[in-house]
Amino acid sequence: MPLNEKRWDKAFEEPLYKGWRNKYPFDEKTTLPIYSIDTPPPYVNSPIHIGHAVTYAMMDFFARFKRMTGHHVLFPLGLDRNGLPIEMAAEKKFNMGANEVPRKKFVQMCNQVLEESSEESIDSFAKLGISFSSWSFGTKLGDAYYTDSDTYRALTQATFIDLWNKGLVYEEKRLNNFCPGCQTTIADSEIERKEKDAFFNHVKVRVKETGEDVVIATTRPELLSTNAILIFNPTDKRYRHLDGKTAITPIYGHEVPIVADREAAKDFGTGIAYMSASAGDQDAVRFLRKRNIKAVQSVGEDGKMLPITGSLEGLTTKQARAKIIELLKEQGLLVKQEKIRHSVPICERSKHEIEFIAMKEYYLKQVEFKNTIKKLSKATPFYAPHSKQILNDWIDSVTMDWAISRRRVYATEIPLWYCKACSTSIVPPPGKYYRPWAEDPPVKACPKCKGKEFEPEMRVFDTWFDSSVSPLYILHYTDKPTFFKKAYPVSLRPQGKEIVRTWLFYSLLRCYQLTDQLPFDGVWINYHILDENGKKMSKSVGNVIDPHDIIKQYGAEVFRLWIATEGNITEGDLRCSSERIAGAGKFLTKLWNIARFISMFPDPPTKKPALLDIDTWILTELDKRIAEANKEFLNYNFHQPIMSLREFMWNIFADHYIELVKSRAYNKEGTFSKKEQEAALYTLNHVLDTALTAFAPVLPFITAKIMKDRCGKDVHEEPFPKQGTTQSTLSTVLLTTLDSVIWQAKKQAGKSLRTPVTIKELPQEIKPIEADFRAAHSIEGEIRYKKMKPEDVVISLSH
RNA sequence: GGGCCGGUCGUCCAGUGGUCAGGACGCCACCCUUACACGGUGGAUGUCAGCGGUUCGAAUCCGCUCCGGCCCACCA
C-alpha cells in the first residue's frame, strides 16, 4: 500500500503513543527471560526537565530493543514523593511551618500539594512514546508507583526491621551535621560547599607557663567557650617550645593543652589554631573523633547559643560572633580582622550553613561494608566503564556510618515505640506500614518490664533509605518471593552521575545487606544535558529548555533521533540547542520519502527471487550495519549504530542503490525481465523493512507508521533483524566514486543528469551490473571493461 | 591537593595505530532529474590544545604542560 502523506508529520505521533499506553504490561508468569529496569523515580514537585526526557527516552531504546530480542521487559514508572521538597512546598503554599501545625494536619497539607503536582509530569513521558509497563498506579508487578505509598513505606520499614534484627542499626549521640533551616540532621552526602566572605579574627591567647601571648586565627570565635586544644605543626619552629604547655582561653579562662599535630598547617593563618569541642566544621568533627575529644554542644537545636557560652546564651551564632568580637576588642585581645573567602558547608536543599550539634540519631553500619561494596562494584559492569571510578572514589571517602534518622514529617516513619518505664524498644513485625505517632504499638505490655505506657518514635528516615530499596520494590521482594528469586538481580540500574554517592552507593549497601547479592546486572551512568553554550541549565540563569516545548515544536520523534545522533551521554555532558534538534528532523523526511517511493511499486514477491549482483551488494552493506547494531545495542551504545544506519539509508541506499535500480524497478521500456524487476522490488522492500525494524527502538513512531501503512504489520512485534549471510565482492567505494565522477562530468558540462553519455571503458568490476548502471546513467554505445581506477574513466557527452 | 570527562573545520560531535582526518548544522555555487527543494550535485573551511617520547607509521599509545567542565577533599 502506498503511503499517502508527502512527509512525516509530528501529528502522526498522538494516536501512536496513545496506543502504547496499555500495550506492554508485565506478566509475572512469562516464560521469556526477564529484563528489568530500575528506573530512577523523578521527583514530582518539579516538572520533568530535559535531562529526564533524554534519559527516559534512552531507557525506552533499551526496553524496546530488549523486547525485540525476546525478553519480557519490566519497565516501571515511579514517582518520588517523599521528603523535604514536598514539605517546603507545603510550607510555602500554606505559609506555615511544619512544626506550627499538628502532624496529622501537616501530612494532609503535603498530600494536597502532591495531589496537585503529580500527574502533570507523566504527560511528557507519554508524549515521548515511553513504553512503560503500566501507566496506572497500583501494587501489581509493573504498576506505576509512588515512593510514599503505603506499600512502598511498608517495604522500607520491613527492611529496617530486618536490618535492626541483624544488628546493623544502632543509636548514638554524636556530633552530626545539623541543618538549622531543615531542622534536622543530614548525611555527609547531602552537604554542599559554598564560597563565602568571612573575617579571619586574630586573637591573643595567653600561655600559662611562660606568660607569653600567641595569636590564633579563627572564623568562629563564638565557639571559644568550648575550646578544647591548641595545635601547631610539629615542624613549626615558632611554636615548638610550647608543646605540652597550657593555654588560657580568652574571656572564659579555661585551661587547655597545647600540642603539636600534623593537621595544623604552618602557612595557614598564624600557624597555631584552636579546636572547639563543639566543632566549627566537618574537618573539626573528624579531628575531634581522632583525638578522642568528647563533643560539647555550644549551639542548641534551635541554632541559639547554650548556657555554656556564658554571656552569649540565647543569641544566634551570627549575633554571638559579633558580640564576642566586641568583648575581645574591649579586652584588647583582638589583634586584627582579616577579610578572607572560604568555603563553608551548606545544606544542599535549604542552603543553610551547617552546624555541628551532638544529637542522638540512628545509624546504619556502612564503614564495615566498604570492602564488600568495593567488591560488588568490581563485579558489576558499568556503562561507560570509567564511570565506576565515581563510585570507587566515594567508597574510599566514607569514614563514618550513615545517619538514617531525620527530624522531619513527610517521609517514612521509623517503626519503633519505646517502653516509658524501661526504655525497651518495641519493634513491630514486618509487612505493614506503621505510623507510630498516630498508632498504638503492636504489643499491649512491654515484653521486658510489663509496662503499659509507650512513647512513639517521632523521627522519620532519610529519603535515600527508601530509594535505596527500589530494586527490591519493583521485583516485589517481600510479597512475591518466588518471582523475586527468579528475577533478581535487576537487569539495569540507569541513573545520573550526580547521585552515584547516594542512590547507587546506598542501593548496593542496603540490597547487599538484605539479600547477600549484587542488586544489578549492570549500571548505566548518564552525564548531563547542558545548554548550547555548555552551561548547566538552571532556572535562575533562564537557560532551561523545557521538553514540553521541544515536543510541541518538533515532535517527540525528532527529539529521540537527536538524542541518538548528538553524541554519547555516557561519555560526557552533551549540549542541547533547538537549532540542532531541528536539523536532526531532516532524516525523518528522507526516511519517509524513501518509504513512500518504495511503497508506490507493486508488492514484491513473498519468496526471495534470484538476485542480481547489485542487489546482493546492497544487502551486504545493510548486513554490516545490522551486525554493528546487534553488537552495540547490547552495550547500550545507540549513537554509533544509529549514525551508521542513517548514513547507510541516506548516502548509500537512497543516493546510489535506489538511483541505480530505479529503471529496473519501473521497467517501463521492458529492458529487464520480470524476474529481474522482481529482484529489485524484493531488495528495495527487504532493505526498507530491515532498516525500519533496526530503527524501531530509537524511532518507534515513524517506523510503526510506515510499517503499518505499507503492510499492516506492527514493527514493534517484529524480531530485531539478525545479521544475514550475503557476501558481495562489489566495492562500495568504487561504485560510489564512479557514480560521482559521472554526475560531476554532466554537471560541469551544464547538462541534465539524464543526458546520454558515451563511456568507452569502465572498471571491470562494473560488468556484472552493466544493465542497471547503463540505465541509471543513460550510457550509450559499447562499453569495454578493464582494470582501471574510477577517477580515470573518460566520459564524453553525446550531444 | 586527588579523581573523572573533555580540548578534532565557524558550531556541535564521530573517529582509540595504517591510504588525501569523517559527519551534522551553518556557508557558497549550480540544479524543481517523475520519492524527497526539510531535496540533489559539487565546493570552501581543520599545523586533530602544546611539548617530548614509543613506532616503519600517532588525532589515536606513554609522559609532562596548558585550558575548560564536573565531583571529592580542603584550611582553623
Of A227, A181, A221, A228, give the one whose Cα is nearest residue A87.
A181
Query: Per residue in A641-679, pLDDT tens?
Result: 898 899 899 989 999 999 999 999 999 888 899 999 999
For A719-760, write each residue's pLDDT tens digit. 999 988 888 888 888 888 888 888 888 877 777 777 888 888
Is the pLDDT assigned to residue A493 strictly greater than 90?
A: yes
> What is the pLDDT averaged over residues A303-318?
85
Confidence check: pLDDT of A156 > 90: yes
Give the pLDDT confidence score for residue A583 in this predicted structure.
Answer: 82
Cβ of A740 near strand B (distance < 7 A): yes
Confidence grade of residue A87 (pLDDT, cut at 50, 70, 90) = confident
| Cβ-based contacts (< 7 Å) between A 139-168 and strand B | none
Nucleotide nearest to A273 (CA to C1'): B76
Query: Is strand B in 7 Å reach of the CB of A199?
Result: no
Nearest residue: Cα versus C1' of B2: A393
**Is ipTM beyond 0.85?**
yes
In percent, how much of chain A has pLDDT > 90? 46
- The span from the CA of A693 to the CA of A716, in Å, is 8
Burial group, residue A401, by CB count within 10 angstroms (0-12, 13-18, 19+) = buried
Element (H, E) at A34: strand A34-36
* Interatomic CA distance for residues A303 and A716, integer angstroms: 59
CA A283 to chain centre: 30
Pairwise CA distance, residues A506 & A398, whole Å: 12
What is the model's pLDDT at position A448? 92
Residue A463 has pLDDT above 60, yes or no: yes
pLDDT for residue A160 is more than 70: yes
Helices and strands per DSSP (H, E), number in chain A: 24, 30
Which amino acid appears at position A296 of this protein? V
Residue A11 contacts strand B, CB under 7 A: no
- Stretch A579-583: mean pLDDT: 81
Contact (CB, 8 A) for A798 and A780: yes
Contact in structure between A142 and A74 (CB atoms under 8 Å) = yes
Give the range among A77-86, A299-308, A777-786 with minimum mean pLDDT. A299-308
| Strand B bases contacted by the protein (CB, 7 Å) | 2-6, 12-15, 19, 23-26, 30-31, 33-36, 38-42, 68-76
Average confidence (pLDDT) over A257-276: 80
According to DSSP, the residues that pair with A169 across neighbouring strands are A364
Hey, which of A24-28, A272-276, A525-529 has the most confident mean pLDDT?
A: A24-28
CB A494 within 8 A of CB A524: yes
Q: Confidence band (pLDDT; 50, 70, 90) for A62?
A: very high
What pLDDT, on the 0 to 100 scale, is given for residue A698?
A: 95
* Chain A residues 300 to 359 with C-beta below 7 Å from nucleic strand B: 340, 342-343
DSSP collapsed to 3 states, A144-162: EEECCCHHHHHHHHHHHHH
Q: Mean pLDDT of all residues in chain A?
A: 88
Strand partners, A229: A275
Query: Predicted confidence band at A529 (pLDDT cuts at 50, 70, 90)?
Result: confident
A584 CB-to-strand B distance under 7 Å = yes
CA of A652 to C1' of B31 (A): 21
Distance CA A308, CA A300 (A): 11
Asked if the Cβ of residue A404 lies within 7 A of any atom of strand B, the reply is no
Instruction: Answer for A751: CB within 7 Å of strand B.
Output: no
Which of A 217-246 have CB under 7 A of nucleic chain B?
217-220, 232
Split at pLDDT 50, 70, 90, the class of A12 is very high
Query: Stated in angstroms, how far is A562 CA from B10 C1'?
Result: 21
Q: Strand B closer than 7 Å to the CB of A275?
A: yes
Q: Do the Cβ atoms of A426 and A417 come closer than 8 Å?
A: yes
Asked whether the beta carbons of A216 and A274 are under 8 A apart, the reply is yes
Name residue, grid cell 588560657: A248
Cell matching residue A160: 529496617
Higher pLDDT, A23 or A569: A23
pTM for the whole thing? 0.88
CB proximity A534–strand B (7 Å threshold): yes
Whether residue A799 is predicted with pLDDT greater than 60 in this model: the reply is: no
Q: What is the pLDDT of residue A361?
A: 86
Interatomic CA–C1' length for residue A178 and nucleotide B8, angstroms: 48
